[in-house]
Amino acid sequence: AQSVAQPEDQVNVAEGNPLTVKCTYSVSGNPYLFWYVQYPNRGLQFLLKYITGDNLVKGSYGFEAEFNKSQTSFHLKKPSALVSDSALYFCAVRTGGYQKVTFGTGTKLQVIP
Amino acid sequence: NAGVTQTPKFQVLKTGQSMTLQCAQDMNHNSMYWYRQDPGMGLRLIYYSASEGTTDKGEVPNGYNVSRLNKREFSLRLESAAPSQTSVYFCASSESVTNQPQHFGDGTRLSIL
């Protein structure tokens, strides 16, 4: 079985400040972890993924995520938020022996000018 | 670069009517997926097709059927629509179920009265 939790429905951050969107996961086995972003009236767009290797993963638009095995977390971060980063963010997980990807419920990021 | 194309973009049905949602991808991907997105529930997998000629149930398959017409096309059918099926439906594709990420269409917004 696999599951993913995004504990915050919404995150507000001032433009220029660092942002963090939290994600924790539960799997039996090694996880494959993903972050996606969704803008209004659009489909999800891939940001970054962790498969193996370096715990700090860099992705599109200046985003990065840190894999922490002991805390079973994969938080999304960006050093300096932009108003255009305002969107809905989804964390997702898959395990090696399981074909399906499980998505979290999403976190709405609001960047305040 | 069309990516994943979904038709129609919007549809209103009456309870008991049937309809088919169409999806096509031009990335030569092997795997295709249908999700529904409801507020507060994230994305839930309805059906997926790991490769041409195969389909499998996801998390919420009841009330739906799918057809993998060829490598490019994967359709979702509602045989007798119910108000509980009011949702936004997303089609996605990936190189394979093990080789992610998934690429999403822009969705079909379906209302059932």
- Least Cα distance to A93 among A37, A44, A29 occurs for A29
User: Pick from A9, A36, A43: which is nearest to B105 by CB?
Assistant: A43
- Least Cα distance to A91 among A16, A10, A24 occurs for A24
Q: Looking at residues A62-90, what average pLDDT do you find?
A: 97
| pLDDT value for B38 | 94
**% of residues, chain A, pLDDT over 70:** 98
Burial A27-49 (b: 16+ CB within 10 A, else e): beeebbbbbbbbeeeebbbbbbb
Q: Is A8 helix (H, G, I), strand (E, B) or coil?
A: coil
| pLDDT value for B63 | 96
| pLDDT value for A100 | 84
For an interface test with A, give the residue of B37, B54, B91 to mutate (most A CBs within 10 A). B37
| pLDDT value for B1 | 65
**Cβ-count burial of B5 within 10 angstroms (0-12 exposed, 13-18 middle, 19+ buried)?**
middle
Q: What are the chain A neighbours of B35 within 8 Å (beta carbons)?
A: 103
Q: Looking at residues A74-81, what average pLDDT do you find?
A: 98
The mean predicted confidence, pLDDT, of chain A is 94
Q: Looking at residues A15-28, what average pLDDT do you find?
A: 96
In sequence order, what DSSP letters do the residues of B64-100 get, joined into one string? EEEEE-SSSBEEEEESS--GGG-EEEEEEEES-SSS-
Nearest CA of chain B to the CA of A70: how many Å?
24
Output the furthest CA–CA distance in chain A (Å, rounded).
Answer: 44
In sequence order, what DSSP letters do the residues of A66-98 get, joined into one string? EEETTTTEEEEEESS--GGG-EEEEEEEEETT-
Residues B102, A100: C-beta atoms closer than 8 Å = no
Distance CA A19, CA A13 (A): 7
| pLDDT value for A29 | 85
Q: What are the chain B neighbours of A41 within 8 Å (beta carbons)?
A: 106-107
User: Pick from B97, B100, B106: which is nearest to A43 by CB?
Assistant: B106
Q: Looking at residues A23-49, what average pLDDT do you find?
A: 94
Q: What share of chain A is helix, strand, coil (3-state, %, to 5)?
A: 5, 55, 40
If one compares B20 and A100, the residue with the highest pLDDT of the two is: B20
Q: Looking at residues A88-110, what average pLDDT do you find?
A: 90
- Least Cα distance to B102 among B25, B14, B20 occurs for B25
Is the pLDDT at B97 greater than 90? The verdict is no
Residue of chain B minimizing CA distance to A104 = B42
Residue of chain B minimizing CA distance to A6 = B42
Q: Which of residues 31-90 of B touch A (CB under 8 A)?
A: 35, 40-45, 48, 50, 56, 58-59, 90
Phi-psi region of A84 (alpha: psi -120 to 50; beta: other; left: phi over 0): alpha
| pLDDT value for A97 | 65
The reply to whether A108 touches chain B by the CB within 8 Å rule is no
Distance CA B49, CA B31 (A): 5
pLDDT bracket for residue B41 (50, 70, 90): confident
